[in-house]
Amino acid sequence: MNKNLREQMNIVVVGHVDHGKSTVIGRLLADTGSLPKGKLDQVRVTCERNARPFEYAFLLDALKDEQAQGITIDTARCFFKTKKRDYIIIDAPGHVEFLKNMISGAARAEAALLVIDAHEGIQENSKRHGYLISMLGIHQLIVLVNKMDLVNYDWSVFDSVTTQYRNFLDNLGVSSVSFIPLSARNGENLAKKSDAMKWYTGKTVLEHIDAFNKQDDDYAKPFRMPVQDIYKFTAAGDDRRIIAGTIESGQISIGDHVTFMPSGKKSTIVSIEGFNSPVKQTIHNGYATGFILKDELYLQRGEVMCRSDERPPYSATRFRANIFWMGRKPMVQNQKYKLKIAAARVPVRLVSIITSIDAAELTSVHGKKQIERHDVAECIFETTKPFAFCNIDDIHSLGRFVIVDGYDIAGGGIITGIDQDQTSLSNKQLQKSEIDWDTGLITEQDRQKIYGHKSRFIVITGKKSVQVAKSLEYQLFTHKKVAYYLGPVFDERDATDETTIHKLGEFARIFIDAGIIFITSLKRVDESELNLLSKLTAPFNFFHVSIENYEDMNTKDTIILNGIVEHEKLSEMIIHELKRQGDISDFSI
Ligand code: GTP
Ligand code: MG
């Protein structure tokens, strides 16, 4: 938000072959005086020398040649400026390149100019490009009805192209698009109003693009910071935790209340930690920074820090998105992929394809079951746990994602909304696993009488959970209780994946049914994982013991034990609790 910086806007120019895209761009550069000194004359002279008529389109080639000789080569863009702001024109060499750049975030257009040749009329690509623009979520679009000089600047030709194309856009749900009659070659209605088309009373191209809204003012939007890392400082003897990340939007001050999404954990900002920068009271979008919170929260990387007094982002598992697939293997339904969005990484599955088109050929295909390489598709996705996200129109960096298949980035997409359908895949999977099993003659009560206790599923979480769980199993076993410990072996991240939770849940059900006290340990667990476990073991309640005094989970069966106590002591405390709840009798320690 540096006021000294001029505002910038990215614009893409699309249209059917030869309809005049390069001429429009060349004209915009020339008529706004944005060309390097002498460039225009130089190109004119070269044309004369080669006995070719001068073309504004040649300006672009000339600029590219020049840039290619320079040190910083950026042939994909060119620039022009008006009084209002600076413009960057994103060159769209081909659909595939264009989509790849747009969707991966290498380039981002905030507005589009679509060129249609008045003489040739609407062609296939005129429509396909319109479709791609709408799929990419670019809402600011002007249609330039070019080469009006070839149709004698006739209003009725302009009117007929406009009516047809407007109908087409209406069907795509794209509205409020302006149409400008143009002769790019003659400079009519680009920088100055045309004398040849007095019947047109609307804006020129330059007036129109200056009137585009800058949607990117992320400063004015709600505060969002994806948590990139959590640093622990023990050097000073204290236990400060710094929540670090880059602020994507909005602003925040010391004392503000914050909520982390999707976990919903809350705290207050105590200090803003700059990296080699002076202490700040307030900080805003664009900064990479760290925060110290009043409470010691157990947070996961990828959660989004928000201000509690502002509108929250979405926090859900199902969303609608438009994606562009680049993977060698097609994207298929129900297979697990990894979704990377801002700092979050979540397993994701393709639920259904609404429409898909082949981006190279731009032919649209309905009823497809998989997304092929270079397809653009509108789909529904589902993640295995909730994550925080926004619509692409809201906060761009939280509405754009990539999909990783194995180790490769195989696709990219933009989120167009939350999906309201609540019948999630994991619920369906749960239903699928409900096979009708047959059991023997022994009842639950019979088992309780013989074993001397009720069956129970005990989930111990926290850093010391493994030792405590093993100690608990040992103590129960030496007192002739039927206890069994089974815990996953952790990788260095101590994270639990969804498959492990599923397996555990299924085992637990069997063990509980067999009358056993089944104990497991998970180093890290979040509320959605606990919910999944609880669904998998329903109607039984499991008993969650969290051995970390700073964890703040509100599961009703949670008891929180202080981490200082030795693990034998902890397991004794658990046994006491089991006795208190009436699960175990005749047990003295
Ligand atoms: P590709 O990049 O090949 O897809 O073409 P393009 O859309 O960039 O078109 P370009 O600007 O190269 O123009 C194609 C031809 O149309 C050139 O010969 C231009 O001189 C001509 N042209 C562009 N605008 C106008 C116009 O307003 N009137 C007339 N008569 N010709 C034009
Ligand atoms: Mg061109």
- Ligand 1: does its nearest atom lie under 6 Å from the Cβ of 120? no
- Ligand 1: does its nearest atom lie under 6 Å from the Cβ of 55? yes
The arithmetic mean of pLDDT across residues 269-278, rounded, is 82
pLDDT at 570 over 70: yes
Q: What percent of the chain has pLDDT over 70?
A: 84
Q: Which two tokens stand for residue 528?
A: 């959605």
Residue the block writes with tokens 């007036």: 207
Q: For ligand 1, what atom is nearest to the CA of residue 15?
A: 7
* Strands 304-307 vs 370-371: parallel, antiparallel or unpaired: unpaired
- Ligand 1: does its nearest atom lie under 6 Å from the Cβ of 146? yes
pLDDT mean across residues, the chain: 84
The arithmetic mean of pLDDT across residues 183-197, rounded, is 96
Q: Tell me what pLDDT residue 564 has.
A: 42
pLDDT at 474 over 70: yes
- Ligand 1: does its nearest atom lie under 6 Å from the Cβ of 15? yes
Ramachandran category for residue 193: left, alpha or beta (phi over 0 → left; psi -120 to 50 → alpha): beta
Q: Which residues contact 225 (CB under 8 A, 6 or more apart)?
A: 245, 246, 247, 248, 252, 304, 305
Q: Tell me what pLDDT residue 93 has.
A: 65
pLDDT at 164 over 80: yes
Instruction: Pick the ligand that lies closest to the CA of residue 27.
Output: 1
Residue the block writes with tokens 């999909």: 403
Q: Tell me what pLDDT residue 235 has.
A: 62
Instruction: Pick the ligand that lies closest to the CA of residue 21.
Output: 1
Q: Tell me what pLDDT residue 539 has.
A: 78
Residue 550's pLDDT band (cuts 50, 70, 90): very low
Residue 516's pLDDT band (cuts 50, 70, 90): very high
Q: How far is the CA of 22 from the centre of ligand 1 (A)?
A: 7
CA angle (284, 285, 291) in 5-degree steps: 60
Q: Which of 23, 95, 144, 185 to mutate for ligand 1's pocket (most ligand atoms within 8 Å of CB)?
A: 23
pLDDT at 209 over 90: yes
- Ligand 1: does its nearest atom lie under 6 Å from the Cβ of 184? yes
Q: Tell me what pLDDT residue 155 has.
A: 97
Least confident of 43-52, 278-287, 332-341, 360-369: 360-369
Inter-axis angle of helices 57-69 and 39-49, nearest 10: 110
- Ligand 1: does its nearest atom lie under 6 Å from the Cβ of 22? yes
Most confident of 72-86, 103-117, 379-393: 379-393
- Ligand 1: does its nearest atom lie under 6 Å from the Cβ of 150? yes
Q: In this predicted model, which residue has the larger pLDDT, 555 or 326?
A: 326
Q: For ligand 1, what atom is nearest to the CA of residue 150?
A: 30
Residue the block writes with tokens 């493994």: 466
CA angle (271, 277, 278) in 5-degree steps: 60
Q: Tell me what pLDDT residue 170 has.
A: 85
Instruction: Pick the ligand that lies closest to the CA of residue 58.
Output: 1
Residues 218-262: pLDDT tens digits? 888 999 999 999 887 766 666 678 999 999 999 999 999 999 999
- Ligand 1: does its nearest atom lie under 6 Å from the Cβ of 159? no
- DSSP lists the bridge partners of residue 79 as 88
Query: Cα separations (Å) of 480 from 26, 452, 460, 468, 469?
Result: 87, 9, 21, 18, 17
pLDDT at 279 over 80: no
pLDDT at 544 over 90: no
User: What is the rounded radius of gyration, in angstroms, for the C-alpha atoms of the chain?
Assistant: 31
Task: Count how many residues are written for the chain.
Answer: 589
Residue 344 CB coordination number (10 Å): 22
Q: In this predicted model, which residue has the larger pLDDT, 108 or 265?
A: 265
Q: Tell me what pLDDT residue 173 has.
A: 75
- Ligand 1: does its nearest atom lie under 6 Å from the Cβ of 71? no
Q: How far is the CA of 18 from the centre of ligand 1 (A)?
A: 5
- Ligand 1: does its nearest atom lie under 6 Å from the Cβ of 95? no
Beta carbons of 399 and 320 less than 8 angstroms apart: no
Pick the residue whose CA is nearest to atom 19 on ligand 1.
Answer: 20
Residues 306-329: pLDDT tens digits? 999 999 999 999 999 999 888 899
Q: Tell me what pLDDT residue 589 has.
A: 44
pLDDT at 187 over 50: yes
DSSP code, position 223: P
The arithmetic mean of pLDDT across residues 543-565, rounded, is 53
Q: How far apart are CA 112 and CA 164, in angstroms?
A: 19
Q: How far apart are CA 414 and CA 109, in angstroms?
A: 13
- Ligand 1: does its nearest atom lie under 6 Å from the Cβ of 57? yes
Residue type at 178 in one-letter notation: S
Pick the residue whose CA is nearest to atom 4 on ligand 1.
Answer: 17
Q: Tell me what pLDDT residue 75 has.
A: 44
pLDDT at 393 over 90: no
Residues 436-446: pLDDT tens digits? 778 888 888 89
Residue 530's pLDDT band (cuts 50, 70, 90): confident
Pick the residue whose CA is nearest to atom 5 on ligand 1.
Answer: 18
Residues 416-434: pLDDT tens digits? 999 877 555 555 555 555 5
Most confident of 1-15, 464-478, 520-534, 561-575: 464-478
Instruction: Pick the ligand that lies closest to the CA of residue 20.
Output: 1
Most confident of 109-113, 276-280, 568-572: 109-113
